[in-house]
Chain A
Amino acid sequence: QVQLQESGPGLVKPSETLSLTCTVSGGSISSYYWSWIRQPPGKGLEWIGYIYYSGSTNYNPSLKSRVTISVDTSKNQFSLKLSSVTAADTAVYYCARVGGFWSGYYDVQYFDYWGQGTLVTVSS
């Protein structure tokens, strides 16, 4: 059973960089896309971006200028960096696996495994 676990500081100062790591266990990080998703308190879900195990990335255009996602296959981990944070970046941050398959007509993709989430508060 694949398991994901987020780790990193729970408090970040405004204008600084938020850094989180997701450790994947119970399966290899290879051959999948891996994603970060966040949820401000009491609000909905926002996709941040994803990375393929080979290192190719795709980011939400609304966050692209501040986001970097990287992968370390030797440690079965991938990481998120979000720069110049403000209070609006306060959220529960989830890491997730992008599962799916080729249906014969199109690429079916969905988030099938999730971490438990970690609350990051931006405050001085």
Chain B
Amino acid sequence: DIQMTQSPSSLSASVGDRVTITCRASQSISSYLNWYQQKPGKAPKLLIYAASSLQSGVPSRFSGSGSGTDFTLTISSLQPEDFATYYCQQSYSTFTFGPGTKVDIK
């Protein structure tokens, strides 16, 4: 099974900050990597698919990069509505989610 890790597990940031979240796979997954945002009491929302493609309707301040085992989600200028938990998910071999990164207000 492919295991996913994320770092950090949580971070505190201010509005306007540049935020970077890292995801690592236990083996190469090429670009089979997606990112989701989840707010409390809500279902996850797809942000990025295939490592770097922005889902329709998602603000351009979100971007993704990486391939192989190491991936990054970047929020270029954090907005109030971006405080949430972010999950990476691999689709190379069925599906596995990372443990999540909680982004809260500093």
**Interface of B (DSSP majority class):** loop
The size of the chain B interface, using a CB distance under 8 A, is: 24
Residues on B with beta carbons closer than 8 Å to the beta carbon of A96:
43
- Per-residue CB contact flags for chain A residues 47-72 toward chain B (1 = under 8 Å, else 0) read 10010000000101100000000000
**Given known A-B contacts A60-B94, A103-B50, A110 and B34 have beta carbons under 8 A apart:** yes
Q: How far is it, in angstroms, between the C-alpha of A86 and the C-alpha of B66 when the chains are bound? A: 39
Q: How far is it, in angstroms, between the C-alpha of A112 and the C-alpha of B100 when the chains are bound? A: 18
**Given known A-B contacts A44-B99, A45-B97, A61-B1, A114 and B43 have beta carbons under 8 A apart:** yes
* A16 at the binding interface (Cβ < 8 Å): no
Of the four ranges (under 10, 10 to 19, 20 to 34, 35 or more), the interface on chain A belongs to: 20 to 34
Tell me how far the C-beta of A49 lies from the nearest C-beta in chain B, rounded to whole angstroms. Answer: 9
**Given known A-B contacts A45-B87, A106-B32, A111 and B96 have beta carbons under 8 A apart:** no
Q: Which of A50, A109, A110, A111 has the most chain B CB within a 10 Å cutoff?
A: A110
Q: How far is it, in angstroms, between the C-alpha of A30 and the C-alpha of B100 when the chains are bound? A: 32
The answer to whether B46 and A110 have CB atoms under 8 Å apart is yes
**Interface of A (DSSP majority class):** strand
Residues on B with beta carbons closer than 8 Å to the beta carbon of A46:
97
**Given known A-B contacts A44-B87, A106-B32, A108-B50, A114 and B44 have beta carbons under 8 A apart:** yes
The answer to whether B49 and A110 have CB atoms under 8 Å apart is yes
- Per-residue CB contact flags for chain B residues 90-106 toward chain A (1 = under 8 Å, else 0) read 01001111111000000
Question: Ordered nearest first, which 6 A-B pairs have the shortest CB separation?
Answer: A114-B43, A47-B95, A45-B97, A110-B49, A109-B91, A110-B34
7 contacts between A and B (CB under 8 A): A44-B98, A45-B97, A45-B100, A100-B49, A106-B32, A110-B46, A114-B43
